[in-house]
Amino acid sequence: MGRGVHAINKRREIGQVATNVMDSTGLTEGNARAAGIGRVVTKGPTLRCAAATLARVAAVVVISSSIAAAAQAVDAVRLRPAQQPDKAPIPHEALPPWTEGYLYIHHISTGRGNSAYIVMPDGTTMLIDAGETDPDFIKSVAPLKPFLPRPNAEHAAGYWIADYIREFAPKGRPVLLDYALITHFHTDHMGMLLPSSPMSATGAYQLTGITEVADLIPIKTLVDRAAPTYTTPVDLRTCNESSNEKTLVNYIKMAEYRRQHGQAVVGLRAGALDQIQLERPKQFHDFHIRNVASSGVIWTGRGEQAQQYIPVDAVKDCHYDENPFSNVVKISYGNFSYYSGGDLPGVPAYNQPYWRDMETPVAAVVGPVSAMTLDHHGNRDSDNGAILRALRPRVIIQQNWLSAQPGEEVVVRMASQEFYPGPREVFATGMSPETRIAIGPIMDQIYRSYGGHVVLRVAPGGSKYEVFILNDADESREALLYFGPYTAE
């Protein structure tokens, strides 16, 4: 099995890399004539401890001869893909266009939240999430740093997601989304309402995240965790204080407008098989999507039965955490399978209730998969030992946008052979240089790329799959890295 093939074209400019690191360390161009950046490994119990350690990285910078030397040192830290034993030219100049029988799963890098575009074997399409970062939240977690907008800040994330879809949509048919699935109601998954957010042409709601995508690309069926009533775990229409809650109210306005005009809006039914289905299911009888969990209800593993895991009276008011209520789906195609769990948590604090660990019961019914996207961007309250042990993924995708992601504990768990044996490879849509320095060389043991659009290309029948990394720095989206093929088992 091929372990990985490296870049044909590294598009990051040295000068920009130097600028980014000078910003993160407090250096100026005048005194950063050369940098030798020492490795810092944090062991503190919180990300704030890690952030404080990162702020002291400047202490290990040694002034030397030229800014070019500094850029080269930083380039080695930030942009070097993980070392691998075998290297060869990339076998494709570009990601091959989708053709019938293939399953494509695009993890779109916007630097601002989650979004995944899926083209199924018969051309049925689905978008999972369309996030946009919340400026107030970013201020609240300083000195942690968000990623730069990708490919740039000229447009909002919703625009770039729609632009990406237009480029990679199946050719010869109208560009549309058969399904759009919102895993849960957080801004980095559904959009962020700002005073500057334009009004929809309908006049019913403003445009951000998924509402902007919907105005640019038709959506046949909108799926979320609380439609049609939006009363789980409380009446969500009454939650209108925080920026996140105002964004949710705007989203509900779009959902209600759609329903009033005969456009489908449905809630994900935990346990259901093929609620999200192909247009031609009989042609691809070995392709299925299982709804594993939604709004605290989890599939039992038997038929389409589901059970209430989060008590119905557990939440009393609008001051609750959305993450445990995330939608979870498993996509299966022959021997290939893929897990997507939104921001599902799995590592409760000592003073939190048992149901804050949603990953353990979910993992028990999901079972082994070929690939998974990390829960909650790889934050330290997620991706626990139980889910890694049960899912045993060969390929792991990290959709992230903040320097706190991943948590060091998550990296250690992913790298550990104690949870499951055999190789595993991690592909991130982005990574802060501070994070790589702080966590250290253990990352290079398992990470194969640290930035770009991550595309899973699954062969007809699901027996083989590949990973392409596409350039997210501009609109070219050319293939930079290729890995595989992997055998689905």
Show the domains of the chain with their CATH numbers: 14-78 (no CATH), 103-487 (3.60.15.10)
241-269 b/e with 16+ CB inside 10 Å = b? eeebbbbbbbbbbbbbbbeeeebebbbbe
Indicate the pLDDT class of residue 94, thresholds 50, 70 and 90: confident
Q: Please, are residues 370 and 397 in contact by the beta-carbon 8 Å criterion? A: no
Angle at 247 between CA 245 and CA 250, to 5 degrees: 115
- pLDDT beyond 70 at 15: no
For range 78-94, the mean pLDDT? 48
Compute the distance between CA of residue 162 and CA of residue 140 in angstroms, rounded to an integer: 29
Indicate the pLDDT class of residue 80, thresholds 50, 70 and 90: very low
For range 257-279, the mean pLDDT? 98
What is the model's pLDDT at position 416?
97
Does 228 sit behind a cis peptide bond, omega within 30 degrees of 0 on the bond before it? yes
474's CB contacts (< 8 A; 6+ apart) are 11, 151
- In tens, the pLDDT along 393-411 reads 999 999 999 999 999 999 9
- pLDDT beyond 90 at 46: no
238's CB contacts (< 8 A; 6+ apart) are 318
**Cα-to-chain-centroid distance, residue 313:** 30
Q: Which candidate, 120, 118, 144, 146, places its Cα nearest to that of 132? A: 146
What is the model's pLDDT at position 92?
55
Q: Give one DSSP letter per residue of 295-330, joined into a string.
A: TTEEE-SSTT-EEE-S-TTS--SS-S-SGGG--EEE
- In tens, the pLDDT along 195-214 reads 999 999 999 999 999 999 99
Indicate the pLDDT class of residue 93, thresholds 50, 70 and 90: low
- pLDDT beyond 60 at 306: yes
Q: How many Cβ atoms sit within 10 Å of the Cβ of residue 235?
A: 11
Indicate the pLDDT class of residue 91, thresholds 50, 70 and 90: low
Question: Residue 299: CA atoms inside 13 Å, Cβ hemisphere, count?
Answer: 25
Tokens 């490879």, located at residue: 425
Indicate the pLDDT class of residue 52, thresholds 50, 70 and 90: very low
Handedness of CA 192, 356, 224, 257 (dihedral sign): negative
- In tens, the pLDDT along 342-388 reads 999 999 999 999 999 999 999 999 999 999 999 999 999 999 999 99
**Mean pLDDT, the chain, integer:** 86
- pLDDT beyond 80 at 74: no
